[in-house]
Amino acid sequence: MPSLYIDGTWTGGSAGTAPVINPYDASTICEVDQAGPDDVDRAVAAARTAFDSGPWRATSCGERGEILGRIADLLVRDREEIARSETLDTGKTLVEGRQDVDDVTAVFRYYAGLADKDAGRVVDTGNPDVVSRIVHEPVGVCVLITPWNYPLLQLSWKVAPAIAAGNTMVIKPSEVTPLTSIKLVELCAEAGVPAGVVNILLGTGPDVGAPLTEHADVDMVSFTGGLNTGRSIIRASAETVKRTAVELGGKNPNVVFADTDFELAVDYAMLAVFLHSGQVCSAGARLIIEDSIADDVVDEIVRRAQRIKLGNGLDDGVEVGPLVSAQHLEKIENFVAAARAEGATIRCGGARPDAPELKNGYFYLPTVITDLPQGSELIKEETFGPLLTVERFSTEEEAIRLGNDTEYGLAGAVFTQDMGRANRVANALRHGTVWINDFHPYFPGAEWGGMGRSGNGRELGPTGLAEYQEIKHIWNNTAPEPQRWFSGE
Ligand code: NAD
């Protein structure tokens, strides 16, 4: 079946096909069509026409909410198929794949409920003859560009509010993991989204993402991905003054005080960094731990990290899958080589596994690294791999200073039994999300996004809908009187 969807029709692309690779064994899952420049123009034109003159603009927010509800129902129907597809494409475990589909369903249900809840407001001007209204309108044609780590989940944070607000869109998923994005577009069509409203193009960032970002007929770009790509997208959008929302990387601190229960400290520190092999934007890759418990906690993390079961995400009992690609594996190897050159101690991991059944896949052992100098690249840069670094503190002020010692500001956690301290530290950390005694949870109704170089704008929650809305003021003078500014005499 062709894999591009333009103006309500599945179609091939003018740039040939590209393989989709299973990172577990480097086998080819399938070939997908690649969009060329003419496909980019056709998709944007379809979205433009559907926005400017199609029936979509006449739909009420209630009707759009119903469509979102139907998409959620279809996700439930096809849950197992979608979870398996996400596992094959990304290498994550099936348990995580199923969790992703459930989370995506919850996002669609959330925006289905929110779509018709806020039509704007009336402003009291003090003049009874004037009706002053603030109304919400869609932004227009939105380009939605997504990464490979949570392909369907990240896309749902954009598609659901963009539909709720009445926009039209062109989706550009990561070239590494396109399968579940194609599936979501199929479900949108089945749920009754009209032709031209949701389009999907496949291809690389330079070939397809960049021309979409530069396109004069696009009104907004919502992007999730790396910092450098985010910078290019903001630059490319400047020429036509597009709205941009960019969700970028993170280098997230996990601050653990000595009064934390030992088991909790170990367990959450491992969940924070090794979930999905560390390929999580909120990964707690920096363990910042109070000196007095650091040795014991790190020893136990090292012991357990060596027992993590790597393997095929489709197999029962596997705890962690591979990295997503050969290119990403090489990047992780380079980070560790640089740490070695700096004299760091590799407490465990630091290599590919020896097991013969893993030799074709892009696996890397869970790795714990200590004794790094504070300015080290590994402490500053997002690795997006299973690499945990350890920093120590002895006072609350020092813990806060270390937690904020990053140019990013996506997420972080504080572990302590002292709730006064927990709230002081949570308030002081300059990150878009701070968890107290937890790590990683997010919720459709709670905003997600970063400070600093982690991006701008927010996804999820009411603000995630507002990203896709223009605010208009309509001033209605119901009893106009001549003003006589200019007498005409
Ligand atoms: P990436 O920046 O390499 O690619 C992301 C997307 O951008 C892909 O679809 C890619 O094809 C496209 N792209 C690349 N160059 C482009 C260009 N010049 N113009 C337009 N589009 C272009 O990121 P990745 O490696 O796919 O994903 C990993 C990154 O995503 C990490 O940095 C991670 O932190 C980040 N991420 C952030 C969040 C968040 O919520 N903040 C969530 C998930 C992932």
Q: Per-residue confidence of the chain (489 residues) as pLDDT tens digits? A: 899 999 999 999 999 999 999 999 999 999 999 999 999 999 999 999 999 998 999 999 999 999 999 999 999 999 999 999 999 999 999 999 999 999 999 999 999 999 999 989 999 999 999 999 999 999 999 999 999 999 999 999 999 999 999 999 999 999 999 999 999 999 999 999 999 999 999 999 999 999 999 999 999 999 999 999 999 999 999 999 999 999 999 999 999 999 999 999 999 999 999 999 999 999 999 999 999 999 999 999 999 999 999 999 999 999 999 999 999 999 999 999 999 999 999 999 999 999 999 999 999 999 999 999 988 999 999 999 999 999 999 999 999 999 999 999 999 999 999 999 999 999 999 999 999 999 999 999 999 999 999 999 999 999 999 999 999 999 999 999 999 999 888
Task: State if residue 86 touches ligand 1 by the CB under 6 angstroms criterion.
Answer: no
Q: Is residue 482 part of a domain?
A: no
Q: Which residues contact 452 (CB under 8 A, 6 or more apart)?
A: 406, 407, 408, 409, 430
Give the number of domains in the chain. Answer: 2
Distance 328 CA to ligand 1 centre (A): 13
Q: Which domain holds residue 99?
A: 4-248+454-475
Q: Is residue 213 part of a domain?
A: yes
**How far apart (Å, rounded) are the C-alpha atoms in residues 171 and 129?**
45
Q: Is residue 55 part of a domain?
A: yes
Task: State if residue 40 touches ligand 1 by the CB under 6 angstroms criterion.
Answer: no
Task: State if residue 325 touches ligand 1 by the CB under 6 angstroms criterion.
Answer: no
- Bridge partner list, 59: none
Ligand 1 atom with minimal separation from the 175 CA: 11
**Tally of residues, the chain:** 489
Distance 12 CA to ligand 1 centre (A): 24
Q: Is residue 488 part of a domain?
A: no
Q: Looking at the structure, do residues 318 and 464 belong to the same domain, yes or no?
A: no
Q: Whose CA is nearest to atom 21 of ligand 1?
A: 209
480 φ/ψ angles, rounded to the nearest 5 degrees: -65, 145
Q: Looking at the structure, do residues 241 and 327 belong to the same domain, yes or no?
A: no
| CATH number of the domain to which 430 belongs | 3.40.309.10
Q: Which amino acid is at 342?
A: E
Q: State the catalytic residues.
A: 247, 281
Task: State if residue 225 touches ligand 1 by the CB under 6 angstroms criterion.
Answer: yes
**How far apart (Å, rounded) are the C-alpha atoms in residues 341 and 335?**
10
Q: Looking at the structure, do residues 243 and 263 belong to the same domain, yes or no?
A: no
**How far apart (Å, rounded) are the C-alpha atoms in residues 438 and 434?**
9
Ligand 1 atom with minimal separation from the 212 CA: 20
**b/e map 203-220, b = 16+ CB within 10 Å:** bbbebbbbbbbbbeebbb
Ligand 1 atom with minimal separation from the 229 CA: 2
**How far apart (Å, rounded) are the C-alpha atoms in residues 333 and 390?**
19
Model confidence pTM above 0.95: yes
Element (H, E) at 253: strand 253-256
The 3-state DSSP class for residue 299 equals helix
Q: Looking at the structure, do residues 231 and 104 belong to the same domain, yes or no?
A: yes
